[in-house]
Amino acid sequence: MFVYLFLLAAIASSSPELSTTDVEAQELQELIAIFTADDTMVETVPSAEIIVANTSVDMPEGTAITITNAIEPSMLEYKHWTGTYSPETFTIAIDGTEVAQGSQHTLPAETKAVDILFNYSFMNGMRKGTKTVTYELHENSTQAQITFSWKDDWQVLVDNGTAVKKVST
């Protein structure tokens, strides 16, 4: 930046052989003002164009909560010393409604807690089970994603909630 200022100053104070017009001198002064101005620029955006990306802000009453089943097949693989196994069946239900992989389920805005049930079966039913995990959703949440890990105590994980109870059957 200082190089530009130096060059502009040199041009502005050049010898009389290089005559400058009033317009050129004014443009040089404007350039010097631009280069010497504060580097931080503030751009105002009309309030209608502001997009809120944080889900923990106060949302208007009646905003629904969207929960996405983001469980991928690789998350369901179980590694055992005899090999790596994937369940033949694996289902997720949110408050009693089955939600397919990649699909979403919408809950009313006033929902505070959600029950997530998962049902699995390995080796033609030789290893199977059903577990229900209850999550309290974080305050003012409008969305959440469900993931899965056999190594986690809760196994089914909700990114915008806190696990409070697990029931195995």
CA distance 104 to 145: 9
pLDDT at 88: 94
Burial 153-168 (b: 16+ CB within 10 A, else e): ebbbbbbbbebeeeee
CA distance 93 to 91: 7
pLDDT at 4: 47
Indicate the domain borders of the chain.
Answer: 2-36, 65-168
Q: Tell me if residue 115 falls in helix, strand or coil.
A: strand
User: Strands 161-168, 127-137: parallel, antiparallel or unpaired by DSSP?
Assistant: antiparallel
pLDDT at 34: 61
pLDDT in 10s for each residue of the chain, 169 residues: 444 445 545 555 554 555 556 766 677 676 566 655 554 443 433 433 333 333 333 444 557 889 999 999 999 999 889 989 999 999 999 999 999 999 999 999 888 999 999 999 998 888 999 999 999 999 888 999 999 999 999 999 999 899 998 888 7
Alpha helices (runs of H) in the chain, residue ranges in sequence order: 2-12, 22-36, 73-76
84 and 163 Cβ atoms separated by less than 8 Å: no
CA distance 70 to 19: 70
